[in-house]
């Protein structure tokens, strides 16, 4: 019997291909003979659908590049430039990094407590719970230098930042996984690549901060579904995670409080009013108890004075800066978008808009709280929130049409577009990064995000077709490479330019680590214009060095630092040695910072004819306290008293550059230990060398 009857025509190539394609296993390159060229039975067997070939697991389809490639790439960016430089100069142990020039601001201030934590002794409280991490790294790599231990922590932190931020972007905005990873990578290149070179908000604190922020959005979702227990749990996660950095924590706490309050007012207004009353009374009781603790107990007095040395000041003056303007512009932009969005999209826009309003309040908290806590530090939260907002707008314009008449596009997106463009041009013309102002990386990152978001919003409101993903990716990555790549080039240019001067001191660093026990202090001077040997010695060895920057952050009274300055002035001519300006700055114990935070208001008050004392009172500048502290130290410099016993307690070791040797008048029982031709160490005869 023939295979095909007269009523059934054999399938042609097109039908066969369509059949195989619908089964999901058609391969255009597959060579198939005509069914009439073979035996009838074989013809039917060829048309029988094949079993689908097993697909590769998801982890093998693009995931390897992300989960394995990203850590490798971050490691190469962390260690690679130094290895290349070591190979270029012919260093045999090219994998080792014994010293850093610490080009990025504040890096030396963090390296010293990192070095202390590696030895298990911490006196400067700047790295908090990460001291345990550094101790574990030191135990794992016992021969690691302080910079090498930090590089391990930096690699771990910045890799985690890339992964955590991608997840948070996807979770918050609803963008696809690939787009979330693209935005996370772009932000990483622009923001973390350079600012993550130092501990702090852009490295090991960053993953915890963004997790706290996205936790607030999850709380909002849980409350909408009336899953109260889950909302409480996520509230605890958000607060705990963000608590490692005060400026992340305060923003998250305010935003979280607003989220809960709005939900309570909407659903249970009586409960909301009751909780508001209870909260007000509780806050008053807490304020009284806390005031008693910080004014009448020794531990409380030490705590409040340490906090003041970390720049807490008392003022009701409103804070104004470029980041405040940016926050206001984001707020009004989301207000304009909310007005034309569909009802389905408004909840997501509302959440992000409330976040910007909460951040604006944290910038403006001083009139309500009476405190200045370096309010400009909230700009780190503003930079992160800018990229969350950009992701929300990208998701919106690709998923929802506007309900607004395209012929009546609101002017607000144009306003934010032109202002952000002006700021981007202004920062790039600084010259950007090459003036060593690496904080401009932060400024440029969030203004760039506002620029792109404003452009997307304008196109969306006009009813234009959304940008292709490839076009958007090209724009965002190109901008990020301009921001981060340029800053990285400037950073390594200055780092490698200054590094030979630091490497010349490696024998001194090694001698100190070998002979000075952890916790024992060292005294030295600045070492010359543009080079602070005190900061470098503390940073590379982890020892307590007077007067490096970190000596202000010990848990002690303010007067302890002033008394050390007075004691050392009996044996060191700080004025003639060129250290007087540094000593005057130290004696202010960071209280001068608030005096320079209100330039606009000061100009206005001068124009109104107010006196300097009145202006200082209005902006919270404690100038009289600063002057009194300096007078206390200057009196000892002008009338030195040689208190031998006090000096030996403060300075059991003294590191003296040869150029500054004549300015030191050490006690007779200090022995001289030449370490290099340019650096000498003096130690009391009673001091035991290890």
Q: What is the DSSP letter of 544?
A: E
In the predicted model, is pLDDT for residue 34 greater than 50? no
In the predicted model, is pLDDT for residue 338 greater than 70? yes
Given this model, what pLDDT does residue 343 score?
82
Closest-CA residue to 182 (of 390, 333, 352): 390
For residue 327, name the pLDDT band (cuts at 50, 70, 90).
Answer: very high
Q: How distant, in Å, are the alpha carbons of 167, 209, 389, 597 from that of 324?
A: 27, 20, 16, 13
Given this model, what pLDDT does residue 62 score?
67
Q: Is residue 624 part of a domain?
A: yes
| Domain identity same for 20 and 123 | no
Boundary of a domain, candidates 99, 127, 155 = 155
> Sheet containing 670-674: which strands, arranged edge to edge?
544-546, 521-523, 653-657, 679-684, 670-674
Angle between helices 580-588 and 623-638 (to 10 degrees): 140
Q: Is residue 666 part of a domain?
A: yes
| Domain identity same for 15 and 130 | no
DSSP 332-397: HHHHHHHHHS-TTTHHHHHHHHHHHHHHHHHHT-HHHH-EEE-GGGGHHHHHHHHHHHHHHHHHHH
The number of residues making up the chain comes to 690
Q: Is residue 295 part of a domain?
A: no
Q: Are 15 and 47 within 8 A, CB to CB? A: no
- Residue bearing the bigger pLDDT, 86 or 313: 86
Residues 247, 250, 252: CA angle, nearest 5 degrees: 105
| Domain identity same for 75 and 30 | no
Distance CA 306, CA 124 (A): 10
Please, what's the b/e burial string for 359-392 (b: 16 or more CB within 10 A of its CB; e: otherwise)? bbbbbbbbeeeebbbbbbbbbbbbbbbbbbbbbb
Given this model, what pLDDT does residue 690 score?
57
169 CB neighbour count, 10 Å cutoff: 28
| Domain identity same for 10 and 118 | no
Q: Is residue 290 part of a domain?
A: no
Boundary of a domain, candidates 95, 128, 155 = 155
For residue 406, name the pLDDT band (cuts at 50, 70, 90).
Answer: low
Q: Is residue 220 part of a domain?
A: no
Query: Which tokens hold the place of 150?
Result: 């930090």
| Domain identity same for 8 and 134 | no
| Domain identity same for 530 and 625 | yes
For residue 403, name the pLDDT band (cuts at 50, 70, 90).
Answer: low
Determine the structural domain holding residue 592 and report its residue range: 504-684
| Domain identity same for 88 and 151 | yes
- Residue bearing the bigger pLDDT, 353 or 35: 353
In whole numbers, what is the pLDDT of the chain averaged over residues?
Answer: 85
Given this model, what pLDDT does residue 17 score?
37
| Domain identity same for 134 and 30 | no
- The percentage of the chain sitting over the pLDDT mark of 90, rounded to a whole number, equals 52
Q: Are 545 and 522 within 8 A, CB to CB? A: yes
Given this model, what pLDDT does residue 269 score?
86
Q: Is residue 89 part of a domain?
A: yes
Burial class of residue 82 (count of CB atoms within 10 Å of its CB; 0-12, 13-18, 19+): buried
Overall domain count for the chain: 3
Cis check: omega of the bond before 431, within 30 degrees of 0: yes
Distance CA 382, CA 273 (A): 31
Distance CA 557, CA 301 (A): 8
Given this model, what pLDDT does residue 22 score?
36
In the predicted model, is pLDDT for residue 534 greater than 90? no
Distance CA 657, CA 664 (A): 10
For residue 227, name the pLDDT band (cuts at 50, 70, 90).
Answer: very high
Distance CA 505, CA 657 (A): 10
94-130 tens-digit pLDDT:
999 999 988 888 888 898 889 888 888 766 667 888 9
Q: Is residue 641 part of a domain?
A: yes
| Domain identity same for 17 and 69 | no
| Domain identity same for 84 and 149 | yes
| Domain identity same for 148 and 29 | no
Strands 653-657 and 521-523: parallel
Boundary of a domain, candidates 104, 133, 155 = 155
Name, in order, each residue with C-beta under 8 angstroms of 554's C-beta and a sequence gap of 6 or more. Answer: 123, 124, 125, 306, 560
Q: Are 588 and 633 within 8 A, CB to CB? A: no
Q: Is residue 121 part of a domain?
A: yes
Cα dihedral sign, 491-494-496-502: negative
For residue 208, name the pLDDT band (cuts at 50, 70, 90).
Answer: very high
| Domain identity same for 572 and 651 | yes
Please give the average per-residue pLDDT across 385-408, as a whole number: 80
602-641 tens-digit pLDDT:
999 999 999 999 999 999 899 999 999 999 999 999 999 9
In the predicted model, is pLDDT for residue 248 greater than 90? yes
């Amino acid at each position: 019997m023939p295979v095909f009857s007269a009523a059934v025509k054999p399938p042609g190539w097109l039908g066969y291909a369509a059949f195989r394609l619908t089964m999901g296993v058609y391969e255009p390159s597959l060579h198939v003979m005509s069914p009439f060229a073979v035996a009838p039975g074989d013809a039917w067997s060829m048309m029988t659908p094949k079993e689908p070939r097993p697909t590769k697991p998801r982890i093998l389809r693009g995931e390897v590049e992300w989960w394995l490639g990203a850590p490798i790439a971050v490691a190469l960016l962390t260690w690679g430039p130094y290895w290349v430089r070591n190979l270029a100069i012919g260093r045999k142990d090219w994998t080792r990094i014994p010293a850093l020039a610490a080009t990025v601001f504040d890096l030396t201030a963090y390296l010293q407590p990192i070095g202390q934590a590696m030895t298990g002794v911490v006196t400067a409280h700047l790295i908090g719970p990460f001291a345990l991490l550094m101790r574990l790294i030191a135990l794992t790599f016992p021969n690691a230098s302080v910079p090498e231990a930090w590089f391990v922590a930096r690699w771990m932190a910045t890799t985690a930042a890339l992964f955590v931020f991608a997840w948070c972007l996807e979770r918050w905005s609803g963008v696809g996984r690939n787009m979330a990873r693209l935005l996370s990578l772009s932000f990483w290149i622009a923001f973390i690549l350079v600012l993550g070179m130092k501990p702090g908000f852009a490295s090991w604190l960053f993953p915890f901060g963004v997790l706290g922020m996205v936790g607030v959005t999850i709380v909002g979702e849980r409350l909408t579904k009336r899953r109260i227990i889950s909302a409480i749990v996520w509230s605890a996660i958000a607060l705990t995670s963000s608590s490692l950095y005060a400026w992340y924590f305060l923003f998250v706490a305010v935003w979280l409080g607003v989220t809960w309050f709005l939900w309570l007012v909407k659903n249970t207004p009586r409960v909301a009013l009751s909780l508001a009353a209870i909260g007000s009374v509780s806050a008053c009781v807490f304020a009284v108890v806390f005031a008693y603790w910080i004014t009448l107990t020794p531990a409380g007095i030490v705590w409040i004075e340490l906090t003041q040395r970390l720049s807490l000041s008392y003022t009701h003056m409103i804070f104004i800066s470029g980041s405040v303007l940016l926050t206001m512009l984001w707020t009004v932009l989301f207000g304009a978008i909310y007005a034309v969005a569909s009802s389905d999209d408004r909840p997501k826009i509302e959440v992000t808009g409330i976040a910007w309003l909460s951040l604006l309040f944290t910038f403006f908290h001083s009139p309500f709280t009476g405190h200045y806590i370096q309010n400009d530090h909230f700009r780190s939260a503003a930079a992160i929130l800018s990229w969350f907002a950009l992701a929300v707008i990208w998701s919106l314009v690709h998923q929802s049409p506007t309900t607004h008449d395209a012929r009546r596009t609101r002017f607000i997106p144009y306003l934010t577009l032109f202002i952000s463009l002006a700021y981007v041009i202004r920062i790039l013309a600084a010259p950007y990064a090459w003036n060593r102002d690496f904080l401009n990386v932060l400024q440029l990152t969030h203004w760039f995000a506002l620029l792109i978001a404003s452009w997307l919003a304008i196109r969306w409101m006009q009813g234009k077709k959304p940008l292709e993903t490839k076009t958007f990716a090209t724009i965002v990555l190109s901008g990020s490479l301009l921001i981060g790549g340029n800053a990285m080039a400037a950073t390594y240019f200055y780092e490698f330019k200054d590094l030979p001067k630091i490497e010349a001191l490696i024998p001194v660093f090694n001698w100190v680590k070998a002979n000075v026990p952890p916790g024992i202090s060292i005294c030295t001077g600045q070492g010359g214009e543009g080079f602070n040997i005190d900061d470098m010695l503390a940073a590379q060895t982890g020892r307590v060095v007077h007067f490096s920057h970190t000596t202000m952050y010990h848990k002690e009274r303010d007067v302890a630092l002033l008394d050390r300055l007075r004691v050392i002035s009996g044996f060191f001519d700080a004025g003639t040695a060129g250290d007087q300006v540094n000593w005057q700055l130290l004696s202010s114990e960071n209280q001068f910072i608030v005096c320079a935070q209100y330039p606009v208001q000061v100009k206005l008050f001068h124009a109104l004819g107010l006196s300097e004392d009145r202006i200082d009172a209005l902006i919270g500048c404690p100038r009289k306290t600063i002057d009194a502290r300096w007078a206390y130290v200057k009196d000892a410099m002008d009338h030195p008293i040689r208190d031998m016993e006090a000096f030996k307690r403060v300075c059991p070791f003294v590191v003296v550059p040869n150029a500054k040797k004549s300015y030191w008048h050490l006690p007779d029982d200090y022995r001289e230990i030449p370490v290099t031709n340019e650096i000498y160490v003096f130690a009391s005869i009673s001091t035991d060398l290890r």
